[in-house]
Amino acid sequence: MYPLCHYYIGMVRLSVRLPESLHLRLHLMSKQMKKSLSGLTQELLDQGLAKIEKARLPHMYSELSKLKGACKKGITDTSATIDEVLYGENGAWKGQRK
């Protein structure tokens, strides 16, 4: 068994099939930028995912705004009513308080 190097903690090995031309472009770019192929790939994936996630934010907020008012009205502080919600007559535990 090999000792676990701190560099790999939290890292996952992934095999990906790429067209030869894309691999060559990545390889050349990594040399030009003096970065490892793995490091450059991680950076590009992170940037690409961040761009997609940012573009999806308006849709996410739109969907969340549709939920506005969907919860029971009148409950302003759940911490004050938690016993009733859980253990009350119609509570989740139906009076099974220990």
pTM: 0.55
Can you spell out the DSSP letters for 23-48? HHHHHHHHHHTT--HHHHHHHHHHHH
Amino acid identity, residue 20?
Answer: E
User: What pLDDT shows up at residue 48?
Assistant: 95
pLDDT at residue 20 tops 90: yes
pLDDT at residue 8 tops 90: no
- Where are the chain's structural domains? 18-87
Residue 24 structure tokens? 């060559």
Per-residue pLDDT tens over the stretch 44-95: 999 999 999 999 998 888 888 887 766 666 666 667 777 777 777 766 666 5
Interval 2-15 mean pLDDT: 69
**CA-based torsion, 32, 47, 20, 18: positive or negative:** positive
Contact 40, 26 (CB under 8 A): yes
